Each structure stands twice: as structure tokens, then as C-alpha cells.
Amino acid sequence: MDVYTSNTSDLLLQRSIPTVTGFNTTFANIGETANNGVDISLTTVNIKQKDLTWTTTTTAAWQKEHIVTLSNGKQNDISNSWFIDQPIGVIYGYKALGLWQSKDAGEMQAFNANGNAFSPGNVRVEDVNGDHKIDGNNDRQIIGWTRPRWIVGMTNTVSYKRLDFSIFLYGRLHYMYNYGGETEPARYVTREVNYYNENNINAEFQKPIFNAGGAPLDPYYASLGYLNASFIKIRNISLGYNFNSMAKLGLTSLRIYAQVQNPGMLYSQIKFRDMDVVGPTWNRGYTLGINASF
């Protein structure tokens, strides 16, 4: 187990300067961050008998970093989503509370009296200060962070006589991903979306709004794109067999094996994207091989 803490200073950041120089900004070594973490590696021999051996190697890394100083000292840089004492990569926006429903008519009326235009099927976001207004100065908040707090892995290896088997699991945990949400402005080629309509009021996403002529979309649809990105996947499965001495064939050793790379996820709340590669597609490979020594 390794436990560490570190401080990084003199990071290059852009800062404002007097316009008398002929420029508005310049770059200077003024940023500072700090982080601490723990790295753990553990190998256990679960079974060790004459013909059977089973070992497990588990690794886990936890890290938490935060910003100490920015270009204006200890002041937040909201335009870049940089906040003092917060991780470098955060999601800053409106927190979704689901969708507005017909039963919320009284509450919607209070918001609409202050300049909103909510109706059943629109995205409902949190009114942080409770003034029945939604504005960027008072109601945006830090939703989560985009860098995983935990990176984990586990390899199990089983040997039985001349047969060997191994499986490798990998995961990133406790972080979020912003994929942008669903605009739903018209009929486009897209994945299947669970959207609101009169027959599906408990939907995952807001009602479609056709924006012909530049009609405004739901202004808060993006808040439904902030998702828990944690996952655990199977990276590799391998099965092999080692033959007895093949001296008659001029071989000192002979092994045949089969492997599957990226066979699938064990756990992920995001079903339409592989968060290991952060994309809708990934490579799955099958390998058959022979290792021979002469």
C-alpha cells in the first residue's frame, strides 16, 4: 500500500493584464493544485493443492485532487468550471429533478409568473435559493466530477493440472459523465430514447419540441445528460492447455490457448456507451493460438 500527497505549483494559466500593454491577457505560472491518494495491490493464494491452484491479484487506486489557486488567487473561474477546493474537472450546471407533471400545475404557475414557460413534460431543475426563478447566478451548482475517484482491477488465475484459466476485471468508479442530453428537435437517426408523452409520463427524457423556424427547445434539456459513469467490465478471458513433453515431435513444450478481449460489462448505468473507451462502439476480439518451443 502506497499513501501519498502532492502539491503542484506554477501551473500555466491565462490571466488579465492592463490593456496599456496592447493585450488583454497573458499566460503566467500562477496555478496551484494539491492531491492525495492511496494505491493498493494485494495478491492472495486462495487454493494451493497438488493439482489445483487459484490466485487473485487485486489493485485499487483512490485519488482526490483540488484546486488551491487560480489566476485571480482564491477566486472561482466559473467560465472554465474551475472552483477553489474542488476537483479540476467538475460538472457545473442545473441539477435535474425529473420532469414537470400535470399534478405540478400550481408550482409551475409560480415559476411561469417569473418569466419561465414550463409545461408538463419539460425538464424540472432545482431552484436552489427557492425564489421560483431559474437563473445562472443563483441556481447553477456543482453536480459532480469527471475524474474517477477509484480505479480498480482484479485478475483471477486458476490452474488445474495442465489447464489454466484467467479473467481480468477493470473498473472506474465514483464519477460522472456529461454526454449533452437529448435535444429531440426533429426526426433524426438516433438511439431509442425514452421520452415524455401523454402515454409515457414517467419518462427518462423531456417531451420532443419541433424547432422548425428556430423555435426554442427545452432550455434545460442538457441537465438530463449528467450521468453516473461508474462501470466494471471484463477486459480479458483466457483459457489454455499445456501438453506433456512432445520430444518425439521435436518439441520441448506445446500450449494451445483461446482468448476473448472485451467480452462485456458487468456493471454500468450508461447502457448506450462503453465508458471504458467513452464511445458507442468498442473492439471485441477472439484469439486462438499455439505456443511451441523446439
For 215-253, b/e burial (b = at least 16 CB within 10 A) is eebbebbbbbbbbebbbbbbbbebebeeeeeeeeeeeee
Is the Cβ–Cβ distance between 60 and 157 less than 8 Å? no
Residue 96, Cβ neighbours under 10 Å: how many? Answer: 20
The pLDDT > 90 percentage for the chain reads 75
pLDDT digits (tens, 9 = 90+) for 114-167: 999 999 999 999 999 999 999 999 999 999 999 999 999 999 999 999 999 999
Predicted pLDDT of residue 280? 85
Of 96, 98, 82, 231, the residue nearest 145 (C-alpha): 82
* Predicted local distance difference test score (pLDDT) of residue 25: 83
Q: Do residues 86 and 66 make contact, with C-beta atoms less than 8 angstroms apart?
A: yes
Name the pLDDT band for 220 (thresholds 50, 70, 90): very high
Report the half-sphere exposure of 206 (CA within 13 A, side-chain side). 28
Give mean pLDDT, residues 209-220: 87
More confident residue, 34 or 88: 34
